[in-house]
Structure formats: structure tokens, C-alpha cells
Amino acid sequence: MKIAIIDDYTSDASALADWTRLPDNYRVDFFQEHITDLKELIARLIEYEILVVMRERTLISSDLITALPNLQMIITSGMYNAAIDFSAAKENKVLICGTESSGISTTEQTWALILALTHNIVSEHNHMVDGLWQQSLATELNQKNLGIIGLGRIGLEVAKIGFAFGMNVFAWSQNLTKDYAEQNGINFIKSKEEICEISDVLSLHVRLSERTINLITAKEFSIMRSDAFIINTSRGPIINEIDLIKALKSQVIAGAGLDVYDNEPLPKNHAFRKLNNVVLSPHLGYGTKELMTKFFNQILENIEAYIMNKPIRVITEPPDRSTYS
């Protein structure tokens, strides 16, 4: 039995679980290179029975699944993966399993970006390296307005930390109710336009779905304050990328903290890399030692359960693309 673990960007998967627990006739191969070309991907994976994927890093399309004659099982990190074609998997009798996840790393990454932006950490560090001293003024968070779009598990945790900084916390989403927001001590906002207008820091915490693609466009940027910051640790396409670049270049808003992008890995010549009012991180909200250790140990457990013909953490239905946290 051959197992392929793809998109192992940091080459840590082999050390984060004890793969020697598998029977001798099971071989695990680890791949770091991210492949987007379908023909190349098929050529790489055609001999494997089990495919391990990291959330939506690679599109597991119908064309890919049907082209892999040996494929029996797909294991994804987390229990939600919009990049897998569930219908094709079902038609080809391919089992899909997942792992538990955690919002801790994404919450922490959100605040790392907020603090880096408002306190000019990156630019001032670079100035220090160049021998300079205090070239800009930081922005305090106390008494500023934190707007949260999507008050699910992660959004709620981000809000709690906002309170610790003495911020005024507001929330909106299409499904959010006033009762739920107020039960958690958060100010309920009735419309997307209003939360964009009042926020000093606007942080996005919704799932990628048909309703959330291009949720933030030039229209929303035009409503935001010129000294406001936007944070995205959810999924890249929630913000219209072209509109964001224009807003940053023309200083319609003060800056952006981004951990997610339309295309990952972010292309080397991408416009974001050339802007001085962004703080960029390579999807670190999904890349901590603790979280990856959990993922790969549960992936190993899934394989062991499959060997025993007692599969666990089975995902039988595709994610609800209309879900709006």
C-alpha cells in the first residue's frame, strides 16, 4: 500500500508522527513541491492508494480522482475541505476522512498581524537593521473599534482578545443574530456597510463559500476609514484581490495584514510583495508545530483504522458552501 502526503511545505510531516507504526508493506512518501498542473499531478500520484492533503492547498478535482485508478482513500487535515470533489469521490468509491482542528493558531496569527500593522513592527525592524531609529509612530488599540465579520469559533476568540486590549468590539455576518452577539458582550451591527464604516481594524472570519467570495470589494474599501486596517486569516478570495491592491496603492485604507491569498503559495512577483503598507505571512494560521502534530498523528490513526476496516472521522457530505459564520 502506497501513501502520498502532498504539500508538505516545511518537510516536517515525516517527523511529526511515528509512521513506523504502519505495517512493513505500507510505504509513505512525502512531497514538498506544490503542483498545480493536472497532468503533472496525475503522473505523481497515479500509483498511490491513499492520498493525504493539507486542507485546500491542492484542488482534488473530479478529473484528478477519476484519473487515479488505485486511489482508495483521501485524508484531509480538518473536517472541512472545499477543494475535494465529494461527488467524484463517491462515484469512484473513494473514502474521505479528516482530523480534528483548532482555531487557536488562526486566532494568534490574527493578532500577530494586527499588532505588526498597528505598531509598524516590520518596517521599524527593517529600519533598525539599516542603522536607523524610530521612523514612524505606532497606533494604539485601546478604545479603537474592532469589527469582526463572522462570529464563529475563531471570530469569538479574536473578539475576546480585543476586549483585553480595551477595544470596542462589533460583529456582523449574514447569519449573526443580535441575541448571540450580545450574549457574548459584542455589539451587533445590522449591515456590512456599517461595520466597514465604523471599524479601525476589520478582521474577517468567515468560511469561503459562494456567499463570501468577493465579500469585500472596492465598494467596501470606499466606505472604510482612510486610517483603517483590514485583516484576512480566513481565505484569500473573500477579499477581491485586485480591488485590495488598488486600495492599498492609492491609500484608500491604511494597510492590510494577510495570511491567505487567492493563489498559494503566493507567486514570487505578486504585487503584494512590493507594497509597503501590508504585512504578509505564508498561511501561518494553519502552520504551527502543535496543530501539524495533531493533524499528522490523527492522519496516522485514520490509516490504522482503515487497515482494520474500521474507518474513523469519515466525512460523508461535502462542506456546506452556503455556511456563513
Report the catalytic residues.
235, 264, 283
Identity of residue 164: A
Q: Distance (Å, rounded) from C-alpha 298 to C-alpha 250?
A: 46
Distance between CA atoms of residues 88 and 70, nearest Å: 14
The tally of CA atoms less than 13 A away on the side-chain side of residue 277 is 18
- For the chain, the three-class secondary structure string (H helix, E strand, C coil) is CEEEECCCCCCCHHHHCCHHHCCCCCEEEECCCCCCCHHHHHHHHCCCCEEEECCCCCCECHHHHHCCCCCCEEEECCCCCCCECHHHHHHCCCEEECCCCCCHHHHHHHHHHHHHHHCCHHHHHHHHHCCCCCCCCCCCCCCCEEEEECCCHHHHHHHHHHHHCCCEEEEECCCCCHHHHHHCCCEECCCHHHHHHHCCEEEECCCCCCCCCCCECHHHHHHCCCCCEEEECCCHHHECHHHHHHHHHCCCCCEEEECCCCCCCCCCCCHHHHCCCEEECCCHHHCCHHHHHHHHHHHHHHHHHHHCCCCCCECCCCCCCCCCC
The answer to whether residues 73 and 50 touch, using CB atoms and an 8 Å cutoff, is yes
Contact 117, 255 (CB under 8 A): yes
